[in-house]
Amino acid sequence: MLNAFLDYYRAALLDRAWGLDPTQLATPLAPSTLTIGGLITHMAMVEYNWYRSRFAGGAQHEAFTSLDWDADRDAEMSLAATMTLDELHQFFEAAVSDSRKHVANASSLDQLSVKDQNGDGEKWNLRWIMIHMIEEYARHCGHADLIRESIDGDVCGND
């Protein structure tokens, strides 16, 4: 059930980008600077951060470690401006595929993360991480809905 909800929201986020050109992918809804492309690269980073880095103890994806976070605190979102829609899809799907691998390799939903919370020894179980990811996607899909509607009036997605 958790995988089904995550996959629903992952698809919903990508759906909001369907058919958009590079200019539209980079269009924010004022006064925010959020863009649909930026939300996609942000969620790719979140996928890698929670599953690869925190849960499995691996390194964050190189695309994010090489960004200049001092110059741009939203660097993962700015990264989208350099990508086409196809590149965004491929980048995002690679992150999701990596996450699915870590979920599939887990012993159970009760398996604890390798990394702890802020050095305090408390760890997250996989169930908590997956529920947190559903919440993260639901929030950002709402943002993407509003941005997409402001671009071309599309309120239903690619149904």
Using DSSP's 3-state secondary structure scheme, residue 114 falls into strand
What's the pLDDT tens digit per position in 2-56? 999 999 999 999 999 999 999 999 999 989 999 999 999 999 999 999 999 999 9
Is residue 58 scored above 70 in pLDDT? Answer: yes
| Residues 125 and 78 sit within 8 Å (Cβ to Cβ) | no
What's the pLDDT tens digit per position in 100-119? 999 999 999 999 999 998 88
Domains and CATH numbers, the chain: 2-152 (1.20.120.450)
